[in-house]
Amino acid sequence: MTRWRKNHLRRTYLWPVLHALAGDTTAYLGFITGATVAQPARIEPWVELGALHETAGRFGEAINAYGRVFPLGEDHPGLAARLASVFARSGRPERALDLYLQVIDRDSEDSGAFYNLGVMHDALGEVDRAMGAYRRALELDPGHVDARLNLSIDLPERESFEEALRNYLLLLDLPVDQRRRRQVERIVDQLQTALGED
């Protein structure tokens, strides 16, 4: 390999990646943007560009990048969930909800998608639908801590205090951090007192 070729490979491929690993994403962003221009029908550069913008909190740019690739690779694993996450983080729960439904249509055993669907229903004030999504997530993965917690929080709104108490007690059997454990223990004590249980 000639010296020119080696230097070209370093500048074109290696340096941008090394800059990205070092925390300087500017060179890497330029490299990925160039890749999307050079080969606009390739999925991977668009996904990477979307991820870079998402990490930097530039949700509009991330939506544009993921949106460009969505027609190219609707079956790309995780793409709909990534796009839904960006819509959720940018304050557009209705659009995120539609995408999580697409994820569930493709994989009805994805507990994380059901959990996220529940979060979007909660964001839209649809508590009953949120609880249904959390329950489905828990059917698929009984150890899903966040689904159990969110269901426990929603249940008292429907005056299902006994079920809330059961769920909070189940949470104490799951691996939760100490701060959350103390909060759950206080809630359990309050619910037991209110319900007249020891």
pLDDT tens for each residue of 96-137: 898 889 889 888 898 999 999 999 999 999 999 999 999 999
Catalogue the long-range contacts made by 49-53 (C-beta closer than 8 Å, 24 or more residues apart).
50/82, 50/83, 50/86, 51/82, 52/25, 52/28
Domains of the chain as residue ranges with CATH? 1-79 (1.25.40.10), 108-198 (1.25.40.10)
| For residue 140, pLDDT beyond 90 | yes
| For residue 15, pLDDT beyond 50 | no
Higher pLDDT, 1 or 112: 112
Average pLDDT over residues 86-100: 89
pLDDT at 143: 92
| For residue 47, pLDDT beyond 70 | yes
Neighbours of 10 (CB within 10 A): 11
pLDDT digits (tens, 9 = 90+) for 57-68: 888 888 888 888
Supply 30's token pair.
Answer: 């330029």
Average pLDDT over residues 11-39: 62
Check: CB of residue 128 under 8 Å from CB of residue 99: no
Least confident of 14-23, 71-80, 132-141: 14-23
Residue 20's identity, in one-letter code, is A
pLDDT band at 76 (very low <50, low <70, confident <90, very high): low
pLDDT band at 147 (very low <50, low <70, confident <90, very high): very high
Supply 107's token pair.
Answer: 């994989």
| For residue 56, pLDDT beyond 90 | no
Under the phi-then-psi rule, with left for phi > 0, alpha for psi from -120 to 50, and beta for the rest, what region is 187? alpha
